[in-house]
Amino acid sequence: MIQNTSKDPFILRRYLSLATKNLRRRPVRTGLTVAGVALAVTVAVSLGGFMLGYSGAIDKSIDMLGFQVMIMAKGCPYEAATMMLKGGTGLLYLPGDTYQKVKNDPDIESITPIFVGVAQKQGSSIRDEGSASNFTIISGVDVPSYKIMKPWLTFKKGAGYANGRWFSADSRDEVVIGFEAAEYEQRKVGDTFYASITPNGSPEPVMHEFKVVGVLDRTGTQDDGTVFMPIDVAREYFNRPSQLTILGIKLKEFSSFKLREFETRSLKLPEVQVVGLQQVKNTLISLVSTAQTMIAAVAAIAVIVALIGVINTILMSVYERTSEIGIMKALGARRGSIFQLIWLETLMICLVGAVAGSIMAVVGSGLVERAIKAMADLGVSGSIVRITPAVIGYAVFGAVILGFFGGLYPAWRASSMRPVEAISKGA
Amino acid sequence: MNDIIIEAHGLKRYYHRGSETVKALDGVDLTIRTGEIVSILGPSGSGKTTLINLLSCLDAPTEGTLLVAGKSVAGLSEDELVEVRRGVLGFVFQQFSLLPTLTVAENVELPLMFLGRRADPGRTAQVLQMVGLTDRASHLPQELSGGQMQRVAIARALIMEPRILVADEPTGNLDKVTGESIIQLFKKLASEGLAILLTTHNPAFGYEADRAITLEDGRIVKEEIVRELAVLLVN
C-alpha cells in the first residue's frame, strides 16, 4: 500500500483539470453544448436586462417629467400619458380656462400648462430625405413655471451653443431645441429653424421661420426631441388659442389619499381626467408584462432544451467512456470520485455557457434594444435594456444550479457502473 | 511474515441466462504468494477473465471463499472492495486504457488523485524508470507505441505500490517481440517481490511464469510448476 505521499490540498483543482481535459476530447460536441447553454443564458440575461431597464426607463421618464399628476382631456389616459412620455400624434385638448380653475387648489405646490402640437419639417432639414422623420413635436410652455417643474434643464455650452437662453413669453420667432432634435437637425444657437404648422380648421400648412436661441443639454427624456416655444405663440400658430394639452402638477404632499382628494375636486371640471404618474407607470409595466411573460416562457424553454442537451452530451460521454470508468474504478476510484468527476464536467459546461451567454448578452444588448424598440412602442425614451452585474450574477448562478441538478443523473449512472461490467463493455 | 496474498477456495461464478445457468467458474482453489508469477492459460470462454475478476475483487463469487491479504472479501460493499484493491492490487488491461488527454506522467499519477494523495514527481520518475520510459514522461499516449502504452499502464499500477499486479491479456494487443519485453519486465518486477497474476492466450508467454494454470470450462485442468520459486525461499 502506498505510504510515502501526503494528502493533496489541491485535489479539487486536479478533478477540475481532468474534467476540462475530458470535455476537450470532443471539442465540437462540447462546443455545441456550451453554445446551447450560452444561447439560453443570452435570452435570459437579455430578458432580465429588459425587465430591469424598462422599469428604470419608466421611472426615469416619469421623474423627469417633473410632475406627479397630469390633468388632461378625457380619453384613454394611458395613451395620453404615453404621448407625454415619448411624444406622438392624436392629441386631445383641454379648455384653456381649466388652468385658471385648478391653479389655486390648496394642495398644489406648482403647476405648469403645456400645449403640444405636431409640426411638419418640410424642407427644414438637410436629412428630410427617404426614411427620415417628417414631424417635430412642438411644446408650447410657460417658461417660469416650466423651469420650476424641471429645474435640471440647462443649456448646452461650447462653440456654437454659447449664450443659450429661454425665449420671452411674447417672442413669436424664437425657439429652444432639445438636445437630440438639435443634433438631428444640425442646428446651433443663432441658426434658423423652419416648421410647417397646420392651423386647426385649415387644410393648408403655414411655414414659420424661427431663430434658435438655445439648445438644451441631454436629459434622456422626450424633452431631448422637442422644440419649445412660448405657449401663447404655439396656441396661436396651431389656431387653438384657448386650449391646453395638459396641466402638469406637483402636489405639496404626494400620497394616494391626497391624490384621490385632488382627483375628486378636479373631476368636477368638465371634460378632464386626472392621471397619477405612478398609476401610469404600473399600467405601462402591465402593458408589456404579457409580452414579458411570453418571452420568459421562451427563455425557460430555451433553458430546458439547453439543459436536456447538456444531460444528453454528458450521458453520451459517459457511455463512450464506460470502459474507462470501469478501469478508473479498478485503479481505486470510489463511486464518489466518479460522481464528482462527471458532475464537474456538467457544471463546467453550464458555467462556461453561462459566462459566454452573459458576454453575448452584454455585447448584443444594443441590438436587442433596437429590436425591441422596432417591434413595440413601449412609451419611454432612453435605454430600456439594462444588464447589471446582479442580472448576470443571477443568470450564471441559475445556470450553475441547473447544471448542479442536471449533472446528477449522468453522474449517478457513471458512478453506479460495476467495474467488471464496465470494463467488459468497453473491451 | 505471511507471504500469501490471495487465497481462494471453491470459487464459483454462475451466470443466469434465461432459464440456463452458465458455469463460468466451477470450483477453483488457488493460492498466490509474494514474488511469484502465475499465468492462467486456456481457450476463450474457459473462465480466465472471470477468475481474474474474482481474484482482483472486481466481481463477487457465487460461492466459495476468497481471502485477499488475509482478509475475507465476502459481503463487502463496493467501496470496501475499492479499499481492498487500493491496498493490494494493481491492474493492467489488454486495451491499455490510458486517458488520451493526459501525459504519460499524468496517467501514471491518476490513481493517486482517486486516493486524494499528492503526486510525488520523484516517485513518478522512479516507476517510469522501472518500466523504461523515463524520457517519455511528458508525451501523450498517442505519441507512444503499443508496447510503450502498456508499460505506462504498468507504471500506473506500480505507483500505488501494490503487492500483486493483475494483468488480463497484457500482451494481447502487442506483437511477439513487444509482448516478450513486457513478460521480461514482469519477471524483473517479480524479482523485486511483486506477485504477478496474468492471463494469456499465448502458451509461450504463459510458460515464462513460475506457475502455469490451465483452465477449461471453469475448472483447473492442469497446474504446472515451471521453475523453482527462489523468491519464496528468500522470504
pLDDT of residue A132: 45
User: What does each C-alpha distance from A248 to A5, A70, A119, A283 come to in angstroms?
Assistant: 79, 5, 22, 19
d(CA B91, CA B70): 19
Query: Would you give the distance in Å from CA A314 to the centre of its chain?
Result: 37
Residue A10: closest C-alpha in chain B: B118
- Is the Cβ pair B99, A324 closer than 8 Å? yes
Chain B residues with CB within 8 Å of chain A CB: 49, 53, 56, 58-59, 78-79, 82, 85-88, 91, 93-95, 97, 99-102, 110-120, 123, 156-157, 159-161
Residue A327: closest C-alpha in chain B: B97
Is the same domain home to A224 and A313?
A: no
pLDDT of residue A82: 62
Is the same domain home to A110 and A233?
A: yes
Domain segments of chain B as ranges: 4-234
Let me know: does A199 contact A237? Beta carbons within 8 Å.
yes
Instruction: Give percent above pLDDT 90 in chain B.
Output: 40
pLDDT band at A366 (very low <50, low <70, confident <90, very high): confident
Is the same domain home to A102 and A238?
A: yes
- Whole-number mean pLDDT of chain B? 87
Is the same domain home to A197 and A304?
A: no
Is the same domain home to A99 and A45?
A: no
Is the same domain home to A353 and A398?
A: yes
Total domains in chain A come to 2
pLDDT tens digits along B96-136: 788 888 999 999 999 999 888 888 899 999 999 988 888 99
Residue A230 lies in a domain: yes
Residue A417: closest C-alpha in chain B: B78
Smallest CA–CA distance, residue B31 to chain A, in Å, is 20
Is some CB atom of chain B closer than 8 A to the CB atom of A335? Answer: yes
Interface test with chain A among B85, B97, B112, B194, by most A beta carbons within 10 Å: B97
d(CA A80, CA A92): 8
Place of cell 427644414: A124
Is the same domain home to A103 and A239?
A: yes
The yes-or-no verdict on residue A284 having pLDDT over 80 is: no
Domain boundary among A190, A219, A244: A244
Is some CB atom of chain B closer than 8 A to the CB atom of A375? Answer: no
- Is the Cβ pair A337, B114 closer than 8 Å? yes
Is some CB atom of chain B closer than 8 A to the CB atom of A423? Answer: yes
pLDDT band at A129 (very low <50, low <70, confident <90, very high): very low
A322 neighbourhood in chain B, CB within 8 Å: none
Smallest CA–CA distance, residue A33 to chain B, in Å, is 20
pLDDT of residue A235: 93
Identify the bridge partners of residue B166 per DSSP, sorted by sequence position: B91, B197
Residue A265 lies in a domain: no
Q: Does domain B4-234 have CATH number 1.20.140.10?
A: no
A4 neighbourhood in chain B, CB within 8 Å: 120, 123
Let me know: does A427 contact B172? Beta carbons within 8 Å.
no
- Is the Cβ pair A419, B58 closer than 8 Å? yes
B88-103 b/e (C-beta count within 10 Å ≥ 16 → b): bbbbbbbbbbbbebbb
Is the same domain home to A353 and A414?
A: yes
pLDDT of residue A365: 86
Is the same domain home to A305 and A210?
A: no
Mean pLDDT over B38-55 rounds to 91
B157 neighbourhood in chain A, CB within 8 Å: 331
Instruction: Give percent above pLDDT 70 in chain B.
Output: 95
pLDDT tens digits along A205-257: 899 999 999 999 988 777 888 999 999 999 999 999 888 888 888 888 877 78
Smallest CA–CA distance, residue B160 to chain A, in Å, is 5
- Whole-number mean pLDDT of chain A? 84
Is some CB atom of chain B closer than 8 A to the CB atom of A163? Answer: no
Is the same domain home to A140 and A234?
A: yes
pLDDT of residue B40: 93
d(CA A240, CA A95): 10
How many A-B residue pairs are in contact by the CB < 8 A criterion? Answer: 100
The overall pTM is greater than 0.90: no
Q: Which domain holds residue A214?
A: 93-244
Q: What is the DSSP string of B2-65?
A: --EEEEEEEEEEEEEETTEEEEEEEEEEEEEETT-EEEEE--TTSSHHHHHHHHTTSS--SEEE
pLDDT of residue A81: 61
pLDDT of residue B235: 38
- Is the Cβ pair B85, A332 closer than 8 Å? yes
pLDDT of residue A50: 85
Residue A427: closest C-alpha in chain B: B95
Mean pLDDT over A355-366 rounds to 92
